[in-house]
Amino acid sequence: MHWSEIITMEPDKLGGKAAVRGMRMSVQSVLEYLASGMTEQEILHDFPYLTHEDILACLQYAAEREKRLETA
């Protein structure tokens, strides 16, 4: 699975920010939950519409974005 199969960017949703499967859950929010100490299981419990693959896609997206910024 590649993050591009899950992460979407649509101008009419979240102001074009990266989101999970076109929902109103941003990649940024998922990353902030993880950074605050929430476990994957806690996130999945609080947001049952998210999947393990969604969380991995958010991490992959962030890693690739960071890599692009380093080479720019």
* pLDDT for 72 beyond 90: no
pLDDT per residue over 10-58, tens digit each?
Answer: 999 999 999 999 999 999 999 999 999 999 999 999 999 999 999 999 9
Residue matched to tokens 């929902």 = 23
- Beta-carbon-side half-sphere exposure of residue 55 (alpha carbons within 13 Å): 19
* pLDDT for 8 beyond 80: yes
> Domain containing 54 — which CATH number?
1.10.10.10
Structure pTM? 0.91
pLDDT of residue 3: 96
pLDDT of residue 68: 87
Range(s) of the domain holding residue 56: 3-71
Distance CA 36, CA 65 (A): 20
